[in-house]
Structure 1
Amino acid sequence: MKKVPVAAGVDDLSPALRESLTGFMKKSPGNAEIPQIVRLPEGGAEFYYKVLGRVPGYYAMYRKRVDPEGVMDLTYKTTFLPDGGIAHIKFK
């Protein structure tokens, strides 16, 4: 069983938000960085983590936004070029 890294602030999450974060991280690649948690003003949260690409300099940022009940509002992946530009954004 894959061990999920612990994010700072996870102890302050409601059970619904914590369950949503756990589901998000279960699908993460093995080389994903520890997820970050951003609290949204309306009570939800946004989770994101960075994954280094196979090609040096490239990386992807996976994001998931959820409402206060833990229901997904938006999920997408942004792929960045070595110069910091955006290669593409894929909505999931």
Structure 2
Amino acid sequence: MNKKDIFIGFIVGLIANIIGLLLAIYFFGNGQGIESTIKKSIAEGFFTKLISLGALINLVAFFIFIKNKKDYRAGGVLLATILVAVTTFILKLI
């Protein structure tokens, strides 16, 4: 059951990150569409910053799981956040 809870937390963390990324694009996209904002952010080199801003939503999911004593799910969210951080670091190097 622990692996299942970690997996659920991991999926929640990834979904929260995607939602956070879309919110960051919405707020910082200057009224442009999602696709054009992503292309522009990649061209100008701030796409990794948008991904990092999207990861902030993981804090909400993490603390909700901690408050409800779902420690393994919170660990899954933490793993998703670490994956996003490593991915952001790799993309920054490329």
Range class of TM-score, shorter chain: under 0.3
> Which protein has the bigger helix share?
2
- TM-score, L = length of structure 2: 0.27
Q: Between Structure 1 and Structure 2, which shows a larger proportion of strand residues?
A: 1
Structure label with greater radius of gyration: 2
